[in-house]
Amino acid sequence: MLRGLNQERIVFTIAVVLFVLFSVLLPGFLSAGNLLSLIQNVSILGILGVAMAIAIIGRGIDLSILSTMPVSAAWLLTLVNGGMPIGLAFVCALGFVIAVGIINGTLIAYVEIPAIFATLAMGIVVYGFGKAFMTPIDAVYTGRGESWFYAIGSGRVLGIPSPVIVFALVAAAAFLFLRTLKPGRFIYGMGDNPLAARVTGIPVRPMIILQYVIISIIALIAGIVMATALAGINTRLALSTMVYDVILVVVLGGIGLAGGKGGIRNVVVGTLLIGILLNGMTIMNLTYTVQSILKSVILLLAIVADTLLNPRDEQTAQHGDI
């Protein structure tokens, strides 16, 4: 029985247990409004989690999304505030994130820099470039337009907050991409065994570039949701530790850093657990710092449980697999 427990199931069980506990103990937790806001509060984390999942499944990682997201979104707002039509500004921002994705992919695929370093450095470069040449002021606010564009993050469709809908759409699109499209299957193959994938004839290098371009585009979407939800965006976000939260959501859901395993479902599970935790703790009026401590200790326990149930063998562990 215990053997059948993997990380995803553990996390799911914890999430369910917490959900039941909070529903019983916390008045107001189980209301529809609260549940929607629970998901809404983590939807941006979830969108970024989807992007990170695509990277990790392909045995990569992208630490630069937390720079790409605020910089591209802030630039978009700057352009719009400067009088450019929204459509054109969006195309500009899209071009920018695609360029970032291509550079990331090239560094990883062709220069063969480990993904963690390439994207770490690119994160710094993107933030620096953005601050020096695109948006000299950290915080950029949305103008007072009446376009549907501003409703992406703050509106509601059929009573559901639009960030939740965007999260669902992104997750569904990524799910279909990974499950049904050839490049999606290739990403699994590359993550499982890059050398075998290469020998099989998968164009590994172009696929890596495609992978990081998709990730960057999802980051732009997350940025737009965030900017329109909060009526502005601050590029200082790139200096925060939010990227670690994103990785945790993904890994907590059960996507191994070794690649080739897991799917979008895992991201949703991981995101929900974080959402339930944060929401419940806020209702209990725990301070922000206590919340962080509790949240991270639970995360640690989850991966400890996974390790205990599925231990790594000294003989089969991959060398250099950190």
Q: Which residues between 213 and 232 bind other proteins (CB under 8 A)?
A: 226, 229-232
Nearer Cβ to other proteins (93/251): 251
Q: Which residues between 21 and 60 bind other proteins (CB under 8 A)?
A: 28, 31, 33-34, 37, 40-42, 44
- Coil, strand, or helix at residue 282? helix
User: Which sign does the torsion angle of CA 186, 191, 192, 196 carry?
Assistant: positive
Nearer Cβ to other proteins (110/182): 110
In this structure, what token pair is assigned to residue 135? Answer: 């948006």
> Which range in 14-22, 131-139, 185-193, 213-221 contacts other proteins by CB under 8 A?
131-139
4 binds other proteins (CB under 8 A): no
114 binds other proteins (CB under 8 A): yes
Smallest gap from residue 172 Cβ to other proteins (A): 23
Q: Any idea which residue has 């990569």 for tokens?
A: 60
- What residue spans of the chain are helical by DSSP H? 7-25, 32-57, 65-81, 86-109, 115-129, 151-154, 162-180, 182-192, 194-200, 204-230, 242-252, 264-283, 288-309
Q: Which of 87, 136, 145, 206 binds other proteins (CB under 8 A)?
A: 136
CA distance 263 to 254: 9
118 binds other proteins (CB under 8 A): yes
Over the window 291 to 310, marking each residue x when it contacts other proteins by CB under 8 A and - when it does not, the resulting string is: -xx-xxx-xx--xx--xx--
Please work out the total of residues on this chain that contact other proteins, with binding judged by CB under 8 A.
85
**Residue 29: CB partners within 8 Å, gap ≥ 6?**
22, 23, 279, 280, 283
CB 234 within 8 A of CB 162: no
Q: Which of 54, 248, 269, 273 binds other proteins (CB under 8 A)?
A: 248
Nearer Cβ to other proteins (184/270): 270
